[in-house]
């Protein structure tokens, strides 16, 4: 029954400060018994996608890099799995929003590049990120089989399903989502409700755990709403963080519940895989 730890944190002025701070959080989480530790989206930087500015590309890292190797060393020293979120410089003019998984022996098992890229006011991600081409990898770690997606991927049941079909016992979503001041009063709680509800639905439809870790604080005009959470296979909220506080959110996940749930509600058995070919179309009319 591995203990999860979601690191709900704020932004820092420099990458070095952010890395030092997150190392302290990781060490604290490990001392608290955590075995799978997850950062928020783009944990080393402020959420720079609020504007389109070419200088921000300088924030990206080649993977692997000294910072990622430091996390790998930390994972091995502490005997924990670390899931982290990066601005990746893959090649000349080519950048991704990328998640890394380090196993408890310190090895980097692989990476996932964010597949769905949003474009909204104050979320100008299409300017920065190329859609991912890694497919839907699932990693067999020392403490469980993980499927890792990133933020905007949260809204797509197809992505969650493909990870679950790959054997994921838990879907993990590093996240940076918040309110804009002109929308918060009228739509703020509705937006949060939609975000939380759709992900709880992924947990139910796929009979697995789901963990979403968000950042907190105001950056530019974006007020990140925190509320990181863990849902069990029934979609129940078994852990939830505050709206505006930095904290480590813990939950002891019993992955035996995944198999038990799928035996009672065998959604994978009853899927009509002969009838879904139209899902590959952009639109049916």
Q: Tell me whether residue 50 is exposed, middle or buried, using C-beta atoms within 10 angstroms of its C-beta: 0 to 12, 13 to 18, 19 or more.
A: middle
Among this protein's residues, is 183 annotated catalytic?
no
Residue 83 · residue 99 · CB < 8 Å: yes
Angle of helix 66-78 versus helix 15-31 axis, rounded to 10: 10
Nearest to 119 by CA among 50, 214, 220: 50
Q: Tell me whether residue 76 is exposed, middle or buried, using C-beta atoms within 10 angstroms of its C-beta: 0 to 12, 13 to 18, 19 or more.
A: middle
Segment holding 198, helix H or strand E? helix 181-206
Catalytic choice (41, 125, 219, 223): 41
Among this protein's residues, is 41 annotated catalytic?
yes
Catalytic choice (124, 151, 169, 196): 151
CA distances from 194 to 89, 199, 201 (A): 32, 9, 10
Segment holding 141, helix H or strand E? strand 138-141
Among this protein's residues, is 151 annotated catalytic?
yes
Segment holding 42, helix H or strand E? none
Catalytic choice (49, 114, 124, 125): 114
Residue 30 · residue 37 · CB < 8 Å: yes
Catalytic residues: 41, 114, 151
């Amino acid at each position: 029954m591995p203990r999860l730890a979601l690191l709900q944190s704020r932004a820092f002025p420099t990458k070095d400060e952010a890395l030092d701070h997150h190392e302290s959080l990781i060490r604290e989480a490990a001392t608290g018994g955590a075995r799978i530790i997850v950062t928020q989206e783009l944990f080393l930087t402020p959420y720079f996608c609020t504007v389109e500015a070419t200088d921000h590309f300088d924030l990206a890292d080649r993977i692997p890099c000294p910072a990622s190797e430091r996390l790998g060393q930390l994972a091995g020293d502490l005997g924990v799995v670390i899931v982290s979120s990066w601005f990746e410089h893959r090649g000349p003019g080519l950048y991704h929003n990328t998640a890394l998984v380090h196993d408890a022996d310190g090895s980097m098992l692989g990476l996932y590049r964010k597949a769905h890229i949003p474009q909204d006011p104050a979320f100008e991600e299409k300017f920065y990120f190329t859609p991912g081409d890694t497919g839907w990898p699932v990693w067999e770690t020392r403490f469980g089989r993980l499927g890792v997606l990133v933020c905007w991927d949260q809204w797509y049941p197809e992505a969650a399903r493909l990870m679950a079909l790959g054997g994921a016992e838990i879907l993990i979503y590093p996240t940076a989502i918040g309110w804009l001041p002109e929308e918060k009063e009228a739509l703020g709680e509705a937006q949060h409700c939609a975000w939380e509800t759709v992900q709880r639905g992924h947990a139910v439809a796929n009979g697995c755990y789901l963990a979403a870790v968000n950042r907190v604080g105001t950056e530019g005009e974006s007020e990140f709403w925190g509320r990181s959470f863990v849902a069990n296979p029934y979609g129940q909220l078994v852990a939830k963080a505050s709206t505006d506080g930095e904290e480590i959110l813990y939950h002891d996940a019993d992955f035996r519940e995944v198999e038990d749930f799928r035996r009672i509600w065998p959604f994978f058995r009853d899927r009509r895989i002969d009838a879904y070919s139209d899902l590959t179309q952009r639109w049916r009319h």
